[in-house]
């Protein structure tokens, strides 16, 4: 089993729709969780950190479910500019300085 | 606003050649790291550093060396290039001053092909 798993997609979604995807992680001792966004042939950029209580940033909401060991990302009122690959990131439990990256979920927003 | 600067952006090597990927940041970040990104896989950590003079191995360190003589620079050396090292390499930095990585800031990447 991969340490961090994501559905690779692509998710093809009409503009204005709501889309959600999950990421599962294998080690229950992980403490830090993030969503990064990566545009085609570009570097990853932090989208948001994921806190135990969940967090929201505009149209984006991230949730953590420790019992089932997954994090989720919800995008409301999707825009064409949301088209990207979304990377799930979790810290390696034995090292706060090492992160484990999922392979990403590709999202395509269609007009 | 330079942020994290990587050079070169593209490089083609022959098997057995050596080279150095350069990485510099101007944000006074203590933490710096090198990743490789291959199709269908998550980014994999090669080496990282939590400050000048301190380096440590990540998930896939074999075939790579690093050094951190200054806070700003963190070069990655390929000792004897192999086709399996064909990849996109990213340098990333963060404050790393609270005992954890925090938000990573990435360079634009270096695309390396080994023939």
Read off the pLDDT of residues A54-73 as tens digits, 9 standing for 90 and up: 899 999 999 999 999 999 99
Phi, psi dihedral angles at B67 (to 5 degrees): -150, 160
pLDDT greater than 90 at residue B96: no
**Collapsing DSSP states into helix, strand and coil, what is residue A62?**
strand
Residues with Cβ < 8 Å from B9, sequence gap 6 or more? B108, B109, B110, B111
B-interface mutation test, from A35, A40, A99, A101, most B Cβ less than 10 A away: A99
Read off the pLDDT of residues B41-78 as tens digits, 9 standing for 90 and up: 999 999 999 999 999 999 999 999 999 999 999 999 99
Q: Does B78 touch chain A (CB under 8 A)?
A: no
The arithmetic mean of pLDDT across residues A35-64, rounded, is 94
**CA dist., res. A65 & res. A9, Å (int):** 22
Contacts of A49 in chain B (CB under 8 A): 103
């Amino acid at each position: 089993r991969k340490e961090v798993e994501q559905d690779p997609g692509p998710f093809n979604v009409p503009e204005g729709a709501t889309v959600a995807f999950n990421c599962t992680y294998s080690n229950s001792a992980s403490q830090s969780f993030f969503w990064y966004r990566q545009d085609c042939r570009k570097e990853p950029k932090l989208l948001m950190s994921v806190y135990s209580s969940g967090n929201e940033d505009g149209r984006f909401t991230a949730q953590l479910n420790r019992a089932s060991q997954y994090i989720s990302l919800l995008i409301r009122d999707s825009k064409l500019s949301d088209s990207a690959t979304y990377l799930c990131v979790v810290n390696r439990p034995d090292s706060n300085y090492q992160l484990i990256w999922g392979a990403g979920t590709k999202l395509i927003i269609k007009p | 606003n330079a942020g994290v600067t990587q050079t070169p952006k593209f490089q083609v090597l022959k098997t057995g050649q050596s080279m150095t990927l350069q990485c510099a940041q101007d944000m006074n970040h203590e933490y710096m790291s090198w990743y490789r990104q291959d199709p269908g896989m998550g980014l994999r950590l090669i080496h990282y550093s939590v400050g000048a003079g301190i380096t440590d191995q990540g998930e896939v360190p074999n075939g790579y060396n690093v050094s951190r003589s200054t806070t700003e620079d963190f070069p990655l050396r390929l000792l004897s290039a192999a086709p399996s090292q064909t990849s996109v390499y990213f340098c990333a930095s963060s404050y790393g001053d609270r005992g954890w990585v925090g938000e990573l800031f990435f360079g634009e990447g270096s695309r390396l092909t080994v023939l």
